[in-house]
Amino acid sequence: MAALTSVTPHSSLHPKFHSQSVSLFLNSTNEAVRFSSRRVSFRAVPSGLTIRAAATKPAKSPAEEDWKIKREVLLQKKVRSVDVKEALRLQKENNFVILDVRPEAEFKEAHPPGAINVQIYRLIKEWTAWDIARRAAFAFFGIFSGTEENPEFIQSVESKIDKSSKIIVACASGGTMRPSQSLTEGQQSRSLIAAYVLVLNGYTNVYHLEGGLYAWFKEGLPTDSEE
């Protein structure tokens, strides 16, 4: 996890932060952002409108847990990684369900036939002081479609997939639990975060798509589109 502290942008193109310290944290998926600030002031340009509010960070959710802890739980729960060709075979021959946790727009563009889409992250929707602060932080780095953890993820999955089902969780990149010389604890991804949330909520047959859907499309495996 990378951290950038004491961010104080001065350009008129961005909201201005006035606080003792503003800390921005990006996880390895670049999707979860947290920052600590006693007061955040936004000065609109050129209207002069000023919004002042205390941006209080919500309590840590399971998806925000440290990757080392997530990985240990996934290994304890015997979550196994499968490559894309094995995933296709398991889907066809053993009624495995492919759970695509990418954003809905990516899913509609291309996905494995029969896959179910429930996004693990979504565009920031609310306008609390905390959400405004997160939008500003994303904008500071040129990201104008900031995302947040989908609070309805597990409820949506439960409404579509029975807990006894065999699930292969997929995202774009896949990530890995396998250690390497450069990544001694593997690499976190959206699909591994989703797998972690699933096993915490009683799903017992959870698998992970190694290589992600990038590998699926690269191999030329069957693909559907809704566009």
pLDDT tens, position by position, 61-87: 677 788 999 999 999 999 999 999 999
Domain contains 110: yes
SS3 51: strand
- Predicted confidence at residue 32, as pLDDT, reads 39
SS3 87: helix
Residue 50 · residue 42 · CB < 8 Å: yes
Domain contains 34: yes
Range(s) of the domain holding residue 11: 2-218
CA distance 222 to 205: 24
- What kind and span of H or E run contains 147? strand 147-149
Ranges of H-type helices in the chain = 67-76, 84-94, 104-109, 129-140, 153-160, 190-200, 212-218
Domain contains 9: yes
Overall domain count for the chain: 1
CATH code of the domain in which 35 resides: 3.40.250.10
Domain contains 17: yes
- Predicted confidence at residue 141, as pLDDT, reads 52
φ/ψ bin of 211: left (φ > 0), alpha (ψ from -120 to 50), beta (otherwise): left
CA distance 44 to 132: 13
Q: Does pTM surpass 0.75?
A: no
Domain contains 226: no
CA distance 44 to 95: 54
- Predicted confidence at residue 147, as pLDDT, reads 64
Residue 185 · residue 178 · CB < 8 Å: no
- Predicted confidence at residue 127, as pLDDT, reads 53
Contacts of 42 (CB under 8 A, 6+ apart): 15, 16, 50, 51, 132, 136
Contacts of 128 (CB under 8 A, 6+ apart): none
Domain contains 223: no
Domain contains 224: no
- Predicted confidence at residue 53, as pLDDT, reads 45
Which of 132, 133, 106 has its CA nearest to residue 120?
106
CA distance 1 to 11: 27
- Predicted confidence at residue 151, as pLDDT, reads 87
Regions in the chain scoring below 50 on pLDDT: 1-54, 143-144
Instruction: Give 3-10's long-range contacts (Cβ < 8 A, gap of 24+).
Output: 7/137, 7/140, 9/140
Domain contains 227: no
Residue 172 · residue 137 · CB < 8 Å: no
- Going from the C-alpha of 98 to that of each of 102, 184, 204, the distances in angstroms are 12, 28, 15
- Predicted confidence at residue 149, as pLDDT, reads 77
- Predicted confidence at residue 157, as pLDDT, reads 97
Catalytic one of 171, 192, 197, 209: 171
Answer yes or no: 137 catalytic.
Answer: no
